[in-house]
Structure 1
Amino acid sequence: MLAAVRAAQHSLRNLRGISDSALASGKNTRFQQANVVILPNHLAKDFEGFCYNNPAPLPLLYRSQSGETSCPPLARHADIRDSIHYCVYEEGHLVKTVSSLESYTSQLSHQWSDMVCFYLGCSFGFESRLKKAGVPVRNVEQGRNISMYRTAVPCIPVGVFSCPLVVTMRPIPAGMLNAAVEVTDLNPLAHGAPVHIGDPALLGIQDLSRPDYGERVELQPGDVTVFWACGVTAIEAILSSKPALAFSHSPGCMFLTDIPDSSVPITCSSESAASPYTKPNSELIPICFLVSHNPLLYSLASQKAVARIRELEMIIGEDPGQRGIRALLVQDELLHSCLALSHSSSVAITTGFPTHYMHSPPDETDGPPGAIAIATMLLALGKQVTMVTDRRALEMNQAIIAEAVKTGVLKTAIPLITFEDSGPDSALHFLCHHGDQSKPRYDHLVAIERSGRAGDGNYYNMRGINIKHLVDPIDNLFIAAQDIPGITTTGIGDGGNELGMGKVKEKVKSLMPNGSLIACDVPCLWFLFVLTLTPPCLPPAGVSNWGGYAVACGLHLLHTCPSHQRYLKKGLGMEYTPAREQLQDWTANLPSVDKEESFLSTLVRFGIRSGKTGHLAMEVDGLTFHPTHSDIITRLLEVTLGSTSQDP
């Protein structure tokens, strides 16, 4: 069947004497173009619902009446029977391609009177805007039709219509990704913003050199593969639903409207009063961020959501004393970490810093509350969560988690496991099923206030005391993850000796007390250095728990951001904002003053002490819960919940 479609496209190009892309992409770009699907009337309601449920690939511009040959809202004098080149389908099979439906419909006029035409937005409608923005359009440069690929992503089925999403691919220079995203996001009826940026394999596309439709487009040095939802998805819908008779445009050869490409048409469906489209909101224009190098993955979030997450980052990284330690902070690490976690499905979290080596237990109150806050939000978002701990602390942490469930801090118990270094492949087998790097158990690792291995192989507290005998080599998991595609990592710390801080170890060595000795040597892809300086007469005070609270809040903001949700869902589904019940559940699973105070009291009852002072009291790193920690939590929540009624 695919060979037949390709052969049909080839014969069309020979018939016309020009390539499809010459018409669709190279000329007539002053006007918007449309994909066309023509179906029997009894399938029209389901197909309209299919378009409505999959708005990115199938943005509906106009639905005709049965037998109607014109479409006045789009092209006043057009007759669809001779406006484009067509594919003809019978029982879901492509049987021929024709340059006009006149003779075909005259022979089957009784059938044509029962046919309904659907006009769908087309990505060629934004190519001229890309060029005006200085973004190269490689398929036009190369005189080729756009590359189109069938993905492994299923559209949302309606009635008999069920098929995979089809996407177009345009190579975009990495430095121009934001320009391409903004230009296309402002064209929701021409498929809108990209649905995927990065490795094609993440969409199930194994070979870019062999598009399912169109022609191969070559990447230039520095280009990134960017994918938009494609109207050829409708052809896949025809092939899978097998109507007795159906027509479509030939891929790459679209219907030319009278609407200038500088405007966004209003959806005009003659039989439907409701429309899934609204005027673009400039505050929701997405920004592009790198999430992972291996595999390459970028993500999108609205300008407003990004601004809120940056506010969270400022709260946990204030430097009122202007003492220069802010050099350890890197902007947007919180945002990058939250984006990576948002794309994850299975997360392993580790914490535990046995700084009080002379006490039993030796652990401190910084770390576990932040870890639980992250885990709670991830669980609420439907992620799988596992916690990794030291063997010496396994029973204690199991009891603490059980108590957290009993007191309502956690809805359900979190699996708690240990890691033992029994050989050179131990970490690989721990992270991947049967040690197979293509089958990772986790796609993200988080270390929060976790003892980190120094350059000499030992583990040190801030006073320079070696506590290696109390620490299992969980660092090995983060080291192994660096070479496993699909596993990203986050580290959260406040002193420089925590797991993940190897990313800034040279700065730790030069800026932190005992830095040359204690600096962690193991990096994470993303790290948060949490810092709030107390008044000038007191030393710097930073608490990693705040980083955990900020991550939980950042995840909430991303999942209430329509721009990010659209990207996660590949433009499929009617709603990109949570339902009221879902939003209430997410909000209930945010850290709160009451929950964090309750959990801290649980830690104290188990004999866990404040990090700096060793006090068995309601404090973390020498700072009392009220007013210091409660104030930070309140401020983070104010930023997070201040705009969720509309968009973050």
Structure 2
Amino acid sequence: MLSSFLLRSCLPSAIRSLPKKARIRNMSSMPGGLQPASVVVLPRSLAPAFESFCQANHGPLPLLGQSEPDKWMLPHLGAVVDMRTICPQFQKYEFGTCTGILASLEKYSEQLKDMVAFLLDCSFSLDGALEQAGLPRRQPAGPSYTGAYKTTVPCATIAGFCCPLVVTMRPIPKDKLERLLEATCSSGGKQGQPIHIGDPELLGIKALSKPDYGDYLECQPEDIPVFWPSPLTSLEAVISYKAPLVFTSAPGCTVMIDLKDTISPSSCLTSEMVPEVHAISKDPLHYSIVSASAVQKIRELESMIAIDPGNRGIRHLLCKDELLLAALSLSHARSVLVTTGFPTHFNQEPPEETDGPPGAIALASFLHTLGKKVSMVVDRRALNLHTKFVEDAVEQGVLKTPIPILTYQGGSVEDARAFLCKDGDPKSPRFDHLVAIERAGRAADGNYYNMRKMNIKHLVDPIDDIFLAAQKIPGISSTGVGDGGNELGTGKVKEAVKKYIRNGDVIACDVGADFAVIAGVSNWGGYALACALYILNSCEVHGRYLRKAIGPSRIPREQSWTQALPSVTKEEKMLGILVQHRVRSGVSGILGMEVDGLPFHSVHAEMIQKLLGVTTVCM
């Protein structure tokens, strides 16, 4: 950085005669009542559009105020500031190209009469938050300011202003992430919350060592890269618009203003806003954040569905926060593949049971409402049956739109990879999350067993291969939902299944998933995942993280989300559809309104009501 001595010697005398409240420094922050801001000066005709652009992308472009043409002062900022001279260094842009570096704009006074100056808040100090968290401050590799990166994340486009988000990065030791999050939230409010934690390629950043602005901060082996939105996004907006004449403060240069009459960012450390960080993927490395209150609600859901009405011993299979982690991963997913189908009644036609399809369709319905692409893969022999389920569900209002139904009968790793990826290329997966809900899972001996230890392999296609192939393809996560340990994905807890579940040494599924959601009835796991997604997407902390602090907030929650949740009415209709197609209860084999031997109206309806009670209460 330039020293204050160099700044004083390089700037014109007009700056030194400014009121004492408006001081000039070439640094990101300083103590006292002064606050740094960056400057963008645009033609008056573009001012309304640029103001709207900043408001639509508040994360990287927090607008403090703007001048009036030919007056060149910003009211209510605690100082009368002459914007022609206040910035230590300006950049001049003509038609999107930087054509000059200027110490002042005094010689452009005539042009400035028809221009408007915007101030963007640069007050949040990452270095200050690091110090508060007890983390050492690291210096960039070069003599400049800490690096910033252009991403492939598009900002919300407004009236011709269209550009990628620019972010800044700090390497943080893995075991200090929670402490950092608390410190940044405490000192910077919403502005202090990061928008990405983990692999930079998820933002389209190919090389951290080559920032687009400034100098690289080196990551140590134990570090996690953490990213925040940067006001340098304004430079990309200026470049993309290609206006005839624009002035901006140079990267790394800010104007110091006195904001004693304004409200400083408040701490977000309330039960609704305090963030928690959770790892949701190792390859690629990816963390998500969510409020503590949302986490608590999802844990309530997990506890509710973990009751054991069949006395199978499933409490021994439970792993804390699997529902939370699965829902977080699904919340970030764009394209989801759902599978279901457990042909336990091998002497009946059809051999399917009533547990599985209702939960799968309930989850698919909510994922679709969130704007995610959803498909379902089933056994080929059951393709027509599941197609009828979906058609009837749409006709009766359980689903708004049909779900594409796929089949898979391949028997090799290459077949599974070809199914999952475009042209079989692992760098181009068609899906980024797989979900199995009450899907027959392959045991260690290669067979498929129901709870009574009967082999049903002749009725089951090797959809397990898709889950196994996904484990070796970066960017695809998986979830298995089960209630007995013989379901696809519950291989994650197979040792507990072998030890505590009757016939577990034979029936235990050998194919695991990243997340294993255990429920007393598998349908409940599907309902709970939909409810957890509702909670996450109604959480302001998580919502901001999902949209990278750009674009409009979806809070308050959209009415369509509430309508897409499972309900007693919709699930009663869905179960009626299955019974109409002669699908039977899994435990009793009864053709009627029951699942796993439990009557719908007294047991399952009550569970749905309890889940909704936790889900829809005000956050």
Q: How much has 1:632 moved relative to structure 2? A: 0.2
Q: How much has 1:440 moved relative to structure 2? A: 0.9
- Give the structure 2 partner of residue 342 of structure 1: 331
- Give the structure 2 partner of residue 482 of structure 1: 471
Q: How much has 1:88 moved relative to structure 2? A: 2.1
Q: Secondary structure at the match of 1:284?
A: coil
Q: Secondary structure at the match of 1:558?
A: helix
Q: Secondary structure at the match of 2:377?
A: strand
Q: How much has 1:463 moved relative to structure 2? A: 1.4
- Give the structure 2 partner of residue 611 of structure 1: 586
Question: Given the alignment of the two structures, is residue 598 of structure 1 paired with residue 587 of structure 2, yes or no?
Answer: no
AA paired with 1:55? H
Q: Residues 457, 493 of structure 1: CA spacing in aligned structure 2 closer, same or farther, 3 A cutoff? A: same
Q: Which moved more, 1:294-303 or 1:324-333?
A: 324-333
**Alignment counterpart, residue 633 of structure 1, candidates 594, 605, 608:** 608
Tell me, in whole angstroms, the C-alpha distance in 1 between the residues paired with 2:601 and 2:81: 72
Tell me, in whole angstroms, the C-alpha distance in 2 between the residues paired with 1:73 and 1:182: 31
AA paired with 1:562? E
The answer as to whether partners of 2:413 and 2:465 remain within 8 angstroms in 1 is no
- Give the structure 1 partner of residue 555 of structure 2: 577
- Pairing of 1:22-33 with structure 2 (within 5 A): 23-24=26-27, 31-33=34-36
Q: Secondary structure at the match of 2:125?
A: helix
The answer as to whether partners of 2:148 and 2:168 remain within 8 angstroms in 1 is yes
- Give the structure 2 partner of residue 437 of structure 1: 426
Unaligned runs of 5+ in 1: 1-8, 268-276, 531-541
**Alignment counterpart, residue 90 of structure 1, candidates 81, 87, 94:** 94
- Give the structure 1 partner of residue 317 of structure 2: 328
Q: How much has 1:256 moved relative to structure 2? A: 2.2
- Give the structure 2 partner of residue 222 of structure 1: 222
Q: How much has 1:374 moved relative to structure 2? A: 0.4
- Give the structure 2 partner of residue 511 of structure 1: 500
- Deviation readout 1:307-354 (Å, 9 max, x if unpaired): 211111111114799997523211211111111111111111111111
- Give the structure 1 partner of residue 51 of structure 2: 48
- Give the structure 1 partner of residue 415 of structure 2: 426
Question: Given the alignment of the two structures, is residue 543 of structure 1 paired with residue 521 of structure 2, yes or no?
Answer: yes
Q: How much has 1:391 moved relative to structure 2? A: 1.4
Tell me, in whole angstroms, the C-alpha distance in 2 between the residues paired with 1:416 and 1:219: 45
The answer as to whether partners of 1:124 and 1:190 remain within 8 angstroms in 2 is no
- Give the structure 2 partner of residue 367 of structure 1: 356
Q: Residues 464, 320 of structure 1: CA spacing in aligned structure 2 closer, same or farther, 3 A cutoff? A: closer
Tell me, in whole angstroms, the C-alpha distance in 2 between the residues paired with 1:127 and 1:449: 49
Tell me, in whole angstroms, the C-alpha distance in 2 between the residues paired with 1:353 and 1:321: 17
Question: Given the alignment of the two structures, is residue 313 of structure 1 paired with residue 302 of structure 2, yes or no?
Answer: yes
Q: Secondary structure at the match of 1:239?
A: helix
- Give the structure 2 partner of residue 3 of structure 1: none
- Give the structure 2 partner of residue 36 of structure 1: 39
The answer as to whether partners of 1:87 and 1:250 remain within 8 angstroms in 2 is yes
**Alignment counterpart, residue 287 of structure 1, candidates 255, 270, 276:** 276
- Pairing of 1:19-168 with structure 2 (within 5 A): 23-24=26-27, 31-71=34-74, 73-74=76-77, 76=79, 79-80=82-83, 81-98=85-102, 100-101=103-104, 104-105=105-106, 107-122=107-122, 125-139=125-139, 145-168=145-168
Q: Secondary structure at the match of 1:24?
A: coil
- Deviation readout 1:79-99 (Å, 9 max, x if unpaired): 44144222222332212223x
TM-score (norm 1): 0.87
Tell me, in whole angstroms, the C-alpha distance in 1 between the residues paired with 2:372 and 2:159: 30
Tell me, in whole angstroms, the C-alpha distance in 1 between the residues paired with 2:306 and 2:262: 45
AA paired with 1:486? G
Q: Secondary structure at the match of 2:416?
A: helix
Tell me, in whole angstroms, the C-alpha distance in 2 between the residues paired with 1:36 and 1:632: 56
The answer as to whether partners of 2:34 and 2:258 remain within 8 angstroms in 1 is yes
The answer as to whether partners of 1:490 and 1:525 remain within 8 angstroms in 2 is yes
Q: How much has 1:71 moved relative to structure 2? A: 4.1
AA paired with 2:152? A
- Deviation readout 1:523-577 (Å, 9 max, x if unpaired): 10011011xxxxxxxxxxx200000000111111122222222111111123331
Tell me, in whole angstroms, the C-alpha distance in 1 between the residues paired with 2:391 and 2:124: 56
- Pairing of 1:241-320 with structure 2 (within 5 A): 241-259=241-259, 265-266=262-263, 280=268, 282=270, 283-318=272-307
Q: How much has 1:365 moved relative to structure 2? A: 1.0
Q: Residues 422, 327 of structure 1: CA spacing in aligned structure 2 closer, same or farther, 3 A cutoff? A: closer
- Give the structure 2 partner of residue 395 of structure 1: 384
- Give the structure 1 partner of residue 180 of structure 2: 180
Q: How much has 1:286 moved relative to structure 2? A: 2.4
Q: Secondary structure at the match of 1:385?
A: strand
**Alignment counterpart, residue 624 of structure 1, candidates 599, 609, 618:** 599
Tell me, in whole angstroms, the C-alpha distance in 2 between the residues paired with 1:235 and 1:130: 26
AA paired with 2:263? I
Tell me, in whole angstroms, the C-alpha distance in 2 between the residues paired with 1:75 and 1:209: 40
For the aligned residue pairs, the C-alpha RMSD in angstroms reads: 2.9
AA paired with 1:42? S
Q: Residues 617, 130 of structure 1: CA spacing in aligned structure 2 closer, same or farther, 3 A cutoff? A: same
- Pairing of 1:463-482 with structure 2 (within 5 A): 463-482=452-471
Tell me, in whole angstroms, the C-alpha distance in 1 between the residues paired with 2:96 and 2:483: 61
Give the total of aligned pairs: 603
Q: Residues 285, 144 of structure 1: CA spacing in aligned structure 2 closer, same or farther, 3 A cutoff? A: farther
AA paired with 1:51? C
Q: Which moved more, 1:170-179 or 1:625-634?
A: 170-179
Tell me, in whole angstroms, the C-alpha distance in 1 between the residues paired with 2:588 and 2:597: 6
Unaligned runs of 5+ in 2: 11-24
- Deviation readout 1:232-278 (Å, 9 max, x if unpaired): 01111111222333222221222223358xxx9539xxxxxxxxx99
- Deviation readout 1:440-464 (Å, 9 max, x if unpaired): 1111110011111111111111111
The answer as to whether partners of 1:24 and 1:124 remain within 8 angstroms in 2 is no
Question: Given the alignment of the two structures, is residue 409 of structure 1 paired with residue 398 of structure 2, yes or no?
Answer: yes
The answer as to whether partners of 2:124 and 2:187 remain within 8 angstroms in 1 is no
TM-score (norm 2): 0.91
- Deviation readout 1:90-137 (Å, 9 max, x if unpaired): 332212223x31xx41x3322233332211122653431331122344
The answer as to whether partners of 1:56 and 1:192 remain within 8 angstroms in 2 is no
Q: Residues 460, 162 of structure 1: CA spacing in aligned structure 2 closer, same or farther, 3 A cutoff? A: same
Tell me, in whole angstroms, the C-alpha distance in 2 between the residues paired with 1:172 and 1:136: 10
The answer as to whether partners of 1:500 and 1:524 remain within 8 angstroms in 2 is yes
Q: Secondary structure at the match of 1:454?
A: coil
**Alignment counterpart, residue 566 of structure 1, candidates 544, 563, 566:** 544
The answer as to whether partners of 1:366 and 1:449 remain within 8 angstroms in 2 is yes
**Alignment counterpart, residue 373 of structure 2, candidates 375, 384, 394:** 384
AA paired with 1:587? T
The answer as to whether partners of 1:189 and 1:265 remain within 8 angstroms in 2 is no
Q: Which moved more, 1:624-633 or 1:150-159?
A: 150-159
